[in-house]
């Protein structure tokens, strides 16, 4: 299944995509797509529905973040060797973990807002994991059984605040609109092999990132197992799994985003995002 949320910001309703790619309204079936809705029993109930029995959502309706009530946003840094090299940093021997604020979440076509005075806002396309069942100290072989689904995500990063103001990376990665997700949450059975997905990102039509999740240093199962040993993962938590090479910081000269520019990004099977960059 491909689950969506649609409507005005803060007032989104739950939905799904039918076989023809049309949005169908799920608000008569469940209150929202949140951690509780990602439980195996809830997803099984949704799979049993006939999508054509659900109301059609008018074309052009805004798509919001496909998950509500998000708990933790855990992120993995430098998880592609080529990205570590372009950042002139050593290839990690174990996952680098940091967090993003929940208030950074926005929809797949919403504007991305530059922080006041930003000079170094950068892009990072990432596979996002949505946790469906509680995971605490799980083995690698059991880890994917705790996944409800996957999404396209951007880990937007203001490099000045991330790297030049001291402290943790979280400071440069938690501004409002710095965690777009969607357009849909594809359930794990829909995705199949999350470690074999082509991914690409363009700025103003120029291809910047062109890679595959197969190039991760630590694959999704390893990441979930590792993180669940540090903290209990709960339904509705998200894990951003890292970005490949092609970010602005890695270019010579470095290239950062300015108001009026456009990002187009997507991961195979997980849909496309389009964002305009705007000033605060």
pLDDT tens-digit readout, 175-221: 999 999 999 999 999 998 999 999 999 999 999 999 999 999 999 99
Determine contact, residues 277/262, Cβ cutoff 8 Å. yes
Q: What per-residue confidence (pLDDT) applies to 167? A: 77
What global pTM score does this model have?
0.97
Measured CA to CA, the distance from residue 123 to residue 188 in angstroms comes to 26
* pLDDT tier, 277 (very low <50, low <70, confident <90, very high otherwise): very high
Q: Encode pLDDT of 144-186 as tens digits.
A: 999 999 999 999 999 999 999 987 899 999 999 999 999 999 9
Rg (CA), the chain: 18
Measured CA to CA, the distance from residue 167 to residue 44 in angstroms comes to 43
Q: What per-residue confidence (pLDDT) applies to 250? A: 95
Mean pLDDT of 55-71: 97
Measured CA to CA, the distance from residue 241 to residue 79 in angstroms comes to 7
Q: What is the mean pLDDT of the chain?
A: 97
Q: Which residues pair with 152 in a beta bridge?
A: 127
> Nearest CA to 266 among 150, 169, 174, 105?
150
Q: What is the CB neighbour count within 10 angstroms for residue 234?
A: 16
Q: What per-residue confidence (pLDDT) applies to 166? A: 87
Alpha helices in the chain (DSSP H): 40-47, 81-86, 140-143, 159-163, 170-173, 188-191, 220-228
Q: Is 278 helix (H, G, I), strand (E, B) or coil?
A: strand
SS3 content of the chain, % helix, strand, coil (to 5): 20, 30, 45
Determine contact, residues 63/6, Cβ cutoff 8 Å. yes
Number of alpha helices (DSSP H) and beta strands (DSSP E) in the chain: 7, 18
Measured CA to CA, the distance from residue 30 to residue 106 in angstroms comes to 22
Dihedral sign for Cα atoms in the order 265, 176, 237, 11: negative
Question: Quick one: how far is CA 232 from the chain centroid?
Answer: 20
Which domains occur in the chain, in start order?
Answer: 2-53 (no CATH), 73-279 (3.90.850.10)
What percent of the chain has pLDDT above 90? 97
Q: Encode pLDDT of 104-146 as tens digits.
A: 999 999 999 999 999 999 999 999 999 999 999 999 999 999 9
């Amino acid at each position: 299944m491909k689950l969506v949320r649609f409507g005005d910001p803060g007032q989104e309703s739950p939905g799904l995509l039918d076989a023809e790619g049309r949005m169908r309204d799920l608000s008569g079936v469940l209150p929202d797509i949140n951690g509780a809705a990602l439980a195996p029993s809830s997803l099984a109930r949704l799979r049993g529905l006939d999508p054509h029995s659900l109301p059609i959502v008018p074309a052009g309706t805004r798509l919001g973040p496909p998950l509500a009530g998000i708990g933790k946003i855990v992120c993995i840094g430098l998880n592609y060797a080529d990205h570590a090299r372009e950042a002139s940093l050593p290839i990690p021997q174990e996952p680098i973990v940091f967090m993003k604020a929940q208030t950074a979440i926005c929809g797949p076509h919403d504007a991305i807002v530059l922080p006041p005075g930003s000079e170094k806002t950068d892009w990072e396309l990432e596979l996002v994991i949505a946790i469906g069942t509680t995971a605490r100290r799980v083995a690698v072989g059991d880890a994917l059984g705790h996944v409800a689904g996957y999404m396209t995500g951007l880990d937007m990063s203001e490099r000045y605040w991330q790297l030049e103001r001291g402290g943790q990376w979280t400071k440069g990665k938690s501004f409002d609109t710095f965690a777009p997700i969607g357009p849909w949450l594809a359930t794990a059975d829909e995705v199949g092999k999350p470690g074999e997905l082509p991914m690409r990102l363009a700025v103003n039509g120029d291809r910047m990132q062109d890679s595959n999740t197969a190039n991760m240093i630590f694959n999704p199962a390893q990441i979930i197992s590792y993180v669940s040993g540090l903290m209990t993962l709960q339904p509705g938590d998200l894990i951003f799994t890292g970005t490949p090479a092609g970010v602005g910081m890695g270019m010579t000269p470095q290239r950062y985003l300015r108001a009026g520019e456009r990002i187009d990004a997507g991961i195979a099977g997980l849909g496309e995002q389009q964002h305009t960059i705007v000033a605060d």
